[in-house]
Structure 1
Amino acid sequence: MKEIKALIDGFRNFKEEYIEDELGRYRQLAEYGPHSKILMIACCDSRADPAIITNSQAGDLMVIRNIANLVPPYDPNSNFQETQAALEFAVSYLAVEHVVVMGHSRCGGIRSLLTRLIDDADAMLPLEKWTAVAEPAAKHVLKNLAGANLDDQTCACSREALTASLANLRSYPWLLEREQKQKLQVHGWYFNLADGDLQAYDEVNKKFTSLF
């Protein structure tokens, strides 16, 4: 119960901040609705919370979180409508100006994908079917880093899957249209849990570099 109590205590602190908010930030958010200019697509992993990592405040980010921060290719008839629906809402209704896909090291979802492929097993369960979106990236890593340990393969695959998700974003016609009109920018970020480094993917030079 101590974990739940910690959440309740945290809410108590939030409620005190809410009541003492002289500028009425939260009340304004309630009145005017979502107005975020940034969509962040991040992993469900509790160690890689994008709001915490970027020190963002309520209302700053719209966030899509799923296993392994994957973006499936555009397909109105696919089984992966949740992420696609959130993308449509952010881009077409909120008119966000930036979409950031943020991966991270030691991703459990990516690790499970690699393990399944190493075991030569078919995707049968929900997690396996979802992470199959990144199968091409995983197969590429297993081929090119065949002698590496699973941790290194996982980190490499997280980066490969991130770049694949950037390509998949541009398969959404309404997102690509806004990018081509320079009304929206797409970014790929990678957070290293071990050293706290945040890297950005350079699509021209095809490499990750530290943001600062």
Structure 2
Amino acid sequence: MDGLKPLPAYLIQRYHGWKATTFAENEAWHRKLAEEGQRPRAMVISCCDSRVHVTSIFGAEQGEFFIHRNIANLVPPYEPDGDHHGTSAAIEYAVESLGVAHIIVLGHSRCGGVQGCYDMCSGNAPELEKKSSFVGRWMDILRPGFEGLPDGSESERLEALEHASIRISLSNLTTFPFVRHAIEEGRLSLHGLYNDIAKGDLWALSTETDEFTAV
């Protein structure tokens, strides 16, 4: 198979270190997860960015979170015959099969995907406007957020667009009939969070003010 090569030695070493320590110390828990299946209490939709470490932020253990990652933590609107099935399938599985009680949309500072959307919508990234650009077409989900940005410096507008990625995703979540049904029955709640990578701060979208406040 073209491109297939042996795993880098440093990853193999790290694996053996994990197997001999963390896994060995919690082997019974891993066996229980394997035998009984997963029962996560929450689904987290976060960005693919390697700097966002969801389980570390919340000190979560295996089996606690059902995590889905994509570019800029976006949720597309409900479109049964649309082109965005990966994220939609994960949401359906989390709500319908796993019965999670919470869906958390976790955005973050200095998001490359949001920067790409900002540049594309500003006319500074023509390569993302091409129909063949997977990133560009995915970032179309966030385009309405750019169109509604307030005046301000570029850094302020970028942060506002990062916040918009969370708001738009939460709004799009409610277009899924099974999500709406679970919310109306009181079985599911939605949450919007924003992580400042440099400061380690976490901000939550207020249900009262629609603004982000420090946790």
The reply to whether TM is greater than 0.5 is: yes
**Counterparts of 2:109 and 2:190, CA distance in 1:** 21
Label 1:152 to 1:9 Cα distance change in 2 as closer, same or farther (>3 A): farther
State whether residues 123 and 132 of structure 1, in contact with CA within 8 Å, keep that contact through their aligned partners in structure 2. Answer: no
Q: How does 1:55-204 map to 2 (within 5 A)?
A: 55-119=59-123, 121=126, 122-124=129-131, 125-141=133-149, 144-145=150-151, 147-149=152-154, 151-204=155-208
Q: State the identity %.
A: 31
Question: What's the CA shift for 1:118?
Answer: 0.9
Label 1:92 to 1:119 Cα distance change in 2 as closer, same or farther (>3 A): same
Question: What's the CA shift for 1:22?
Answer: 5.8
Q: Say which SS state the counterpart of residue 198 (structure 2) adopts.
A: coil
Residue by residue over 1:108-129, the C-alpha shift from the partner in whole angstroms, topping out at 9 and shown as x without a partner, is: 0010011011117435210000
Which residue identity is paired with 1:127? Answer: V
Which residue identity is paired with 2:153? Answer: A
Question: What's the CA shift for 1:95?
Answer: 0.2
**Counterparts of 2:104 and 2:49, CA distance in 1:** 16
Matched with 2:38 is 34
Label 1:20 to 1:161 Cα distance change in 2 as closer, same or farther (>3 A): closer
**For structure 2, which runs of at least 5 residues remain unmatched after alignment?**
1-6
Matched with 2:15 is 11
Q: Say which SS state the counterpart of residue 65 (structure 1) adopts.
A: strand
Label 1:21 to 1:78 Cα distance change in 2 as closer, same or farther (>3 A): same
Structure 2-normalised TM-score?
Answer: 0.90
User: Moved runs in structure 1, 4+ residues, more than 6 A?
Assistant: none
**For structure 1, which runs of at least 5 residues remain unmatched after alignment?**
none
Q: Say which SS state the counterpart of residue 154 (structure 1) adopts.
A: helix
Question: What's the CA shift for 1:161?
Answer: 1.6
**Counterparts of 2:79 and 2:110, CA distance in 1:** 29
